[in-house]
Structures are given as C-alpha cells and as structure tokens.
Amino acid sequence: MINHIVSIKDIDKETILDIIQYAAKIEANPEVYAEKQKGKILSTIFFEPSTRTRLSFESAMLRLGGKVIGIADPKTSSLKKGESISDTIRMAAAYSDIIVMRHFLEGSGRVAAEYSSVPVVSGGTGIQEHPTQALLDLYTIYKEFGRIDNLTIGLLGDLRYGRTIPSLLYAFAKFNNVKIYLYSPQQLRARMTVLSDVEDKLEYRVEDNLEDTIDQLDVLYVTRVQKERFPDEQAYERVKGSFIISPDTLKNAKENMIVMHPLPRVGEIEYDVDDLPQARYFQQAKNGVWTRMSILDKLLEERK
C-alpha cells in the first residue's frame, strides 16, 4: 500500500482497484465500519475554498468513528501570520493521526508529506493534481460499467487549469484501451506537460465538435472554467460560456452514457440536465464519502 496520497502517479493500478473495491464494500454495509477508526483524529487544512472535498473527508472520518479538527479558513490561523507549510504540517501531525491538505502551490503536497510523521492526503494541489477526486471519479465509472478498461471518455471544459483533469488522465493511463476525447476552447487545452506524460499509454484526440462525437462517448466529464486561475478577468470573460451542456446536447448520446462533473458547476451544465438518466454528478459527489472512507481506513490501517 502507500503511506501518503499526493499524486495519483504514485499509485499503481492494483492499489487503485483495491481502493475502489473497498469503497464498494463500505458502501454496501457502512455500519460494519462505523467504529473502525474510533479514537483517531483527522486534520483538514485548507488554504483554498472547498465544499465537497473537506466535508466529504470529514463525513468519511466521522462515519469511521473517528474525530475531526481543522482549518477551513487560513485567515483565522497562523497561516495568516506567514507560518510555513512545513511548520503547520508538523503541528497538525502532532495533533492528529492523518492530514488532508489543500494548497494553491504546486509541490505543496510533496513538501507536506516529507515533513509529516502521519499520512498526508492531498485535497487538491494548485492546478497540478486532485488525486482523491480522480479516485472517486474512477469509483463512479467502475460502479456504472464494472470496469475502467475499454471505455471512451470525453473531458470537457477547462482542461488547462482544472486540476482534476491531470489526475484523471494519469489514472486512465494506468488502464487498458481508454480513449480520451478532449473538448475545450483553444486557450484552455490540456497542458503539454500533462499530455506528454500519458501519450504513450492512452489514445487521446483533441476534438472541436462535441455534437458530432458525443455518440461515441461512455462518459462525458464536464469541468468548470477556473476563474481564479486566470491572469485577468477579460481573458476569463472571453471563454467562460464556451460549452454549455443542455438536454439537447445529449440527444445523440448512447443510452448508457453518463455525465460527470467534479462540481461546483457555474453554468456549464443546465439544471434541466439534472433530471435526465445520464446525470451522475450528484451521485459522484456522494461516492466521495465511500471512496474517502476507503482511503482513510487504508492509510490508517497501514500504520497500525
């Protein structure tokens, strides 16, 4: 197993499947796990806004019988006074048994893991990665199709700044015959550094036209344009409404195709889509709890 989760690149296919299958076992019988981590404490330290990641990790720890402490707003802690990541993490490691951290700096997860005496899990690292989101995304796909191999996945939206995208691509690259269609405005195409890491392991193509290719997809994974990462407001305004998924967009989709989104959405999926059989984003968010219970339990058990 692994000691920390800072990049999906560090986790092999067997371990990914192990985490997913354990999440399924937990989801089937959550009461069996209700005291599993009794007495253990999770620290959540978030330098950037979060709803789902922080709350689902907290919910996961509570559902395992553990307790939670945390900083949701850096302005209320010594982070505001300029304390370094390494000192903050050393303290959190002294006060708890496992840490989830979200930070805007690339490499911050790796630094935290280096200084921590307890397991560190990245809850999102700048534009670099969001490994546990990828794990819950894979869990969602696995639940739907019973496999990750041999699927065609459309990734749509802000492929440049969205951190769920690199983690997902690195994860898919570990499986067999996953085909990726990339849909985005020109300015928001996936970064070459990310694509070059996966290009010999999966087949990807940049596609302009969603309408003409949607019938080939098993999954359409939509992302928000990451306003906060843009150098200026005007650049954001130029691309923000580029793709909007409506019931009409999905009219030629395969019957069992699913629409996913890490959320929050800010207009890129119309509310009318929520009631269609393809919509999976709310279930996907809920799957985050089971996946994170699996992750926390596995990392904590590893240390016993």
The catalytic site residues sit at 52-53, 81, 102, 130
* Residue from 250, 268, 153, 256 nearest 205 by CA: 153
Query: Between residue 200 and residue 259, which ones bind ligand NCD under the rule CB under 6 A?
Result: 224
Whole-angstrom distance, CA of residue 278 vs CA of residue 258: 4
Fill in the per-residue mask, 254 to 283: x = in contact with ligand NCD (CB under 6 A), - = not in contact: --------xx--------------------
Smallest distance, ligand NCD to C-beta of residue 234, A: 21
Smallest distance, ligand NCD to C-beta of residue 14, A: 25
Query: Between residue 52 and residue 71, which ones bind ligand NCD under the rule CB under 6 A?
Result: 52-53
Smallest distance, ligand NCD to C-beta of residue 300, A: 22
Cα 94 to chain centroid, rounded: 27
- Under rule CB under 6 A, residue 160 binds ligand NCD: no
Smallest distance, ligand NCD to C-beta of residue 81, A: 25
Q: Answer left, alpha or beta for residue 177, where phi above 0 means left and psi between -120 and 50 means alpha.
A: left
Fill in the per-residue mask, 125 to 154: x = in contact with ligand NCD (CB under 6 A), - = not in contact: -----x--x---------------------
Smallest distance, ligand NCD to C-beta of residue 259, A: 15
Pick the piece of the chain touching ligand NCD (CB under 6 A) from 28-36, 159-167, 177-185, 202-210: 159-167
Q: Residue 124 has which token pair?
A: 């999102």
Whole-angstrom distance, CA of residue 151 vs CA of residue 303: 36
Inter-residue long-range contacts of 94-99, CB under 8 Å, 24+ positions, other chains counted: 95/41, 95/43, 95/69, 96/41, 96/42, 96/43, 96/69, 97/40, 97/41, 97/42, 97/66, 97/300, 97/303, 98/40, 98/41, 98/42, 98/43, 98/296, 98/299, 98/300, 99/42, 99/43, 99/44, 99/45
Cα 91 to chain centroid, rounded: 26
Nearer to ligand NCD, 113 or 134 (CB): 134
Question: What CA–CA distances, in Å, run from 1 to 36, 129, 134, 135?
Answer: 18, 20, 17, 15
Smallest distance, ligand NCD to C-beta of residue 190, A: 15
Site for ligand NCD (CB under 6 A): which residue of 119, 124, 131, 154? 124
State whether residue 203 is helix, strand or coil: strand
Nearer to ligand NCD, 119 or 262 (CB): 262
Whole-angstrom distance, CA of residue 175 vs CA of residue 173: 5
Site for ligand NCD (CB under 6 A): which residue of 43, 128, 164, 184? 164
Binding residues for ligand NCD, how many (CB under 6 A)?
Answer: 11
CB proximity list for 48: less than 8 A, separation 6 or greater: 102, 103, 104, 124
For ligand NCD, which residue has the nearest CB?
Answer: 262
Nearer to ligand NCD, 130 or 143 (CB): 130
Residue ranges that bind ligand NCD, judged by CB under 6 A? 52-53, 124, 130, 133, 162-164, 224, 262-263
